[in-house]
Amino acid sequence: MATAAAPIATEPLVVERHRGFWQRWYRTPSFVAGLVIIGIMVTMAALAPVIAPYNPNHQDLTQLLQGPSSKHWLGTDNLGRDVWSRMLYAARVDLQVAFLAVCFPFIIGTVLGCISGFYGGWADVGVMRFVDVVVAFPFYVLIIAMVFVLGPGTRNIYIAITLVGWVSYARILRGEILVAKRQEYVLAARGAGFSDARIVMRHLLPNVITQAIVFAMSDIVLDLLAIVTLGYLGLGIQPPTADWGTMIADGEQFLTTHWQLSTFPGVAVVIVGLGLSLLGDGLADLLRPE
């Protein structure tokens, strides 16, 4: 009996879903649109040192608060810095931090969620109670408080986001695993005597991770917004490094005369958000079992 079950159990049942993915991705409009938008943004950000016409921190005091012109495509700010160059470098920093910042909560949340869902009992209760407490704090408040306590700067942004952001992943994974562990292929694997870790890693995880991945798309947007907001408040990426948030803050005093200074960085964030939303929706459609 055990030997008969074993061959079935060793074949992860992930094949059907993902095979469809590689064939269908280019026919899903939202996915493609999102990929294009993000692709463009990321490429421009990566190539910033190459394509930016000026050094983002170079202050030309003869060219303060200029409007858009052929020399400065988006004009200059109150310190004579070229806005377009700053936008490119800000993209670089903000996108990098946002994409990276989503990874740590993802990993930690996934691990804790798996433990919680798979083992149940005290582990589950403990993790979930902890989740309840963390969730009781509004996201921004906790981030700001963390940054306050730890001090501003990029490294602490990662720490703050990680400490606060893992809960969503833990909940998602736990929920998925609670359902999935009752499926037949898991019972078969257990019957075949596979170790818990192997069952979780090879059999459960590939099937349940899709929800977390889709959520991660919207989480990147959330993190980006948090980074930009912290920048606006002066608690995030520190000047003189260009960041969309600080750019908006700097431009706020000139709202009536030079509204473009605060507007363009925001538009950039919206575009990235749109791209990621499309990507996330497209991904959700693709990864849904047919």
Partner 1 sequence: MDLLSYTLRRLLQAVPVVIGVTVLVFFMIHLVPGDPARTMLGTHADPARIAALHKEWGLDQPLWVQYKDFMSRLLHGNLGDSLYYQESAGTLIMGRLPATIWLLAYSTILSIVIAVPLAALAASKKDAARDQVVRAVPMIGLGFPPFWLGIMLLLLVALHSGGFFPVGGYGNGFTGHLQAMFLPSLTIALGISPILIRSLRASLLNVLESDYIMTARSKGISERRVMYRHALRNGVISTVTVLGINLAFLVGATVVIEQVFAVPGIGQLMLNSIFQRDFPIVQGVTLVFAIMVVVIYLAADVVHAMLDPRVRFD
Indicate whether 273 belongs to the interface with partner 1 (CB under 8 A).
yes
* H/E stretch holding 105: helix 103-119
Indicate whether 52 belongs to the interface with partner 1 (CB under 8 A).
no
Task: Could you list the beta-strand ranges (E) of 156-199.
Answer: none
Per-residue mark of binding to partner 1, 76-105 (x: CB under 8 A): ------------------------------
d(CA 30, CA 227): 26
Cis omega (within 30 of 0) for bond into 29: no
Strand partners, 76: 82
In angstroms, the first-to-last Cα distance of the chain is: 32
Per-residue mark of binding to partner 1, 113-132 (x: CB under 8 A): ----------------xx-x
Indicate whether 228 belongs to the interface with partner 1 (CB under 8 A).
yes
Q: Which of 209, 232, 242, 246 binds partner 1 (CB under 8 A)?
A: 232
Indicate whether 233 belongs to the interface with partner 1 (CB under 8 A).
yes
- Identify which range of 66-74, 185-193, 204-212, 263-271 contacts partner 1 by CB under 8 A: 263-271
Would you say the C-alpha torsion 6, 8, 11, 17 has a positive or negative sign?
Answer: negative
Reduced to 3 states (helix: H, G, I; strand: E, B; else coil), residue 254 is coil
Closest separation in Å from C-beta 126 to partner 1: 11
Cα atoms in the 13 Å half-sphere on the side-chain side of 201: 5
Q: Which residues form the interface with partner 1 (CB under 8 A)?
A: 129-130, 132-142, 144-146, 148-151, 218, 221, 225, 228-229, 232-235, 245, 248, 252, 255-256, 259, 262-263, 265-266, 269-274, 276-278, 281
